[in-house]
Amino acid sequence: MLLLAKTKHLPLALDLSILNPQVLIGLFIGGMLPFLFSALTMSSVGKAAEKIVFEVRRQFQEIPGLMEGTAKPDYAACIDICTRSSLREMILPALIAIIAPLGVGLLLGSEGVIGLLSGCTVTGFVLAVMMANSGGAWDNAKKYVEEGNYGGKGSAAHKAAVVGDTVGDPFKDTAGPSLNILIKLVSMVSVVFASLILINSLLK
């Protein structure tokens, strides 16, 4: 597919066929981005949760009467951990979403960026829907078992459902919804720096 477009300074001919190596490489890179982004966000959730567990254990050990319910826990410490983690852990995923279209554009040109946007949108949308549905299913499965089905609480089915819900919660609450932001951010960066890419790309 050959697309002809005229810009203010120069005519632009785009070959958007998947036989074009620039488009194909961009498609592969764009298709990979949602999986890398999701892996980083889910890893961030695990790190933050681990810090919260250590903080809760510390408070149970150091605050007298907390286990008996006669003392109040330090809520601010847990909130501080969550806030700091949410800001710190999103630096790398955000940088990847900004650098990827810029890097592909400067190396492969506008055709590579178009391929990246296509691959990121297709795989990102499908992955987000899958994560939302599977995460909700795992969460509901745990609640279903806790109501007394398949042996109820304490059974092997309940232990398996808890493990599934541990993965399901970041699926439906973190990684899945954040993929919408990834798709939008990659698209906006590509549009904002379109002229820079057209002028300075290595492959015209």
Full DSSP string of 122-191: HHHHHHHHHHHHHHHHHHHHHHHHHTTGGG-TTSHHHHHHHHHHHHHHHIIIIIHHHHHHHHHHHHHHHH
Q: What does DSSP assign to residue 8?
A: S
- Compare 105 and 67 and report the one with higher pLDDT: 105
Tokens of 86: 């949410």
Report the chain's mean pLDDT, rounded to a whole number.
Answer: 88
Residue 28 one-letter amino acid: F
**Is residue 99 scored above 80 in pLDDT?**
yes
Return the percentage of the chain with pLDDT > 90, whole number.
Answer: 57
Cβ(112)–Cβ(22) below 8 Å = yes
Mean pLDDT on 96-118 = 93
Cβ(142)–Cβ(162) below 8 Å = yes
pLDDT value for 4: 47
Cβ(115)–Cβ(22) below 8 Å = yes
Task: Return all residues near 201 (Cβ < 8 A) that are at least 6 apart.
Answer: 105, 106, 107, 108, 109, 110
Whether the model pTM is above 0.75: yes
pLDDT value for 134: 92
Confidence of residue 148 (pLDDT cuts 50, 70, 90): confident
Beta bridge partners of 4: 13
**Is residue 181 scored above 50 in pLDDT?**
yes
Tokens of 198: 């057209």
Return the percentage of the chain with pLDDT > 70, whole number.
Answer: 94
**Is residue 188 scored above 90 in pLDDT?**
yes
Task: Return all residues near 53 (Cβ < 8 A) that are at least 6 apart.
Answer: none
